Amino acid sequence: MKQHQHIYIDIFAGCGGLSVGLFNAGWTGLFAIEKNKDAFTTLKHNLIENKKHFLWPDWLEISEHDINELISENKEELESLRGKITLVAGGPPCQGFSMAGKRDKDDQRNKLVESYIEFIKLVLPEVIIFENVHGFTVNFKSQKGTKKYSSYVEMQLKNLNYSVNDEIIDMSEFGLPQKRKRFILVAMKNHDSKEVFNVLHDKKESFCLLHGISCKTTIKDAISDLERKCGEEKSIDSKGFKAGVYGEIQSKYQKLMRKDTEKKSQVDSHRFVNHREKTVLLHNDLLEKAPIGKRITPSDGYVENLNRRGVTVLDSTTQAPTITSIPDELIHYCEPRILTVREHARIQGFPDWYKFKGKYTSGGSRRKLEVPRYTQVGNAVPPLFAEQIGLALLEVLSREPKK
């Protein structure tokens, strides 16, 4: 391992959104930890096999791993990394903290915060990036007198002599076409972590200018070249389905996302859902009668036969609401359908060369075990933002350490 390289480890890596951004920012990965096979398969295909991005140690199999088993079985190997790892990045699964979900204080996934801290104690990196949902900063209602999880993480890191700062970041201010708010924490051993946020905000306009995009990207900017009217053909990975083909590039954001892809190739994961006739009629009703850009519920009475918890008809002139793992919450701005996986990925800032693996969707009890493509995208850290924070970290690390 070369000493001059900025080496990072991605834990709770999902399908690799954070790692894509760090790759684009010039970081070098050592390894990535992800428990789910579906998500890891996507990361492996793109970043390990295709881009050769990870060095990967001999003592760790290139496969999906559970962080608790890794800590238990490889404690000595992890401790041997002290002084060699610049960054540990990632955040535990967010579903137990999400304000949009059940917010169960007993959700077992919440305990992975403790696993995260244990991993940090073993490796002791120079820098830490921790990402989670906005709800991570909010106490559970039934927990009187207890500190919120974000305070616990900050206290533990400060006890390890890290400088710790955090912010709630709105991704729509950093070139992403969605109003996605996330808790971002940065901890540093030898620098003031507040500097990272200062650089991040100061450089967002120059970053977007360099990449030829606007800091306020609209939905139309993001996906208008993927509309069904641009053409379709038989899906190469789903029998009985149609997949979209590329239309003409209509924005600089599309040009950026399509870099290193071939126009004539079928767009990865751009498979259209085979909606039933009554569903198409419902979507047409929503396009005609529902207020655009506003989440509505069945009780609002805009349309009949709406059996979804909530739905938003996208406003092409602004940003989307937060992309989640539930695809039928968003309706295309001009076509009577939900979005494809690739359209979700565009809104998350994944480049089109990044190919997603596994099933498109799962249902019933399988949802507890499988992480299909829609879920992989919805759970990811947006790569376009991850690249910016990766660059901000490198700039601060290049400065003289604090005394």
Q: Which residues are catalytic?
A: 94
- Smallest Cα–Cα separation from 110: which of 141, 135, 78? 135
Q: How far is CA 146 from CA 30, 103, 105, 139, 157, in A?
A: 36, 16, 12, 8, 18
Extended strands (E) in 37-100: 87-89
Q: What angle do CA 132, 133, 138 make, to 5 degrees?
A: 110
Q: Which residues contact 244 (CB under 8 A, 6 or more apart)?
A: 226, 227, 228, 230, 231, 232, 267, 270, 272, 340, 342
Buried b (16+ CB within 10 A) or exposed e, 358-384: bebbbeeeeeeebbbbbbbbbbbbbbb
Q: Is 137 in contact with 168 (CB distance < 8 Å)?
A: yes
How far apart, in Å, do the first and last CA atoms of the chain sit?
28
Indicate the helix (H) or strand (E) that contains 291.
none
**Tokens 């198409």, located at residue:** 280
- DSSP label at 337? S
Q: Is 37 in contact with 64 (CB distance < 8 Å)?
A: yes
Q: Is 84 in contact with 66 (CB distance < 8 Å)?
A: no
Q: How far apart are CA 326 and CA 323, in angstroms?
A: 8
Q: Which residues contact 109 (CB under 8 A, 6 or more apart)?
A: 92, 93, 95, 96
- Smallest Cα–Cα separation from 312: which of 330, 290, 297, 291? 330
* Tally of CB atoms within 10 A around 61: 8
**Tokens 């190997």, located at residue:** 77
Q: How far apart are CA 34 and CA 156, in angstroms?
A: 23
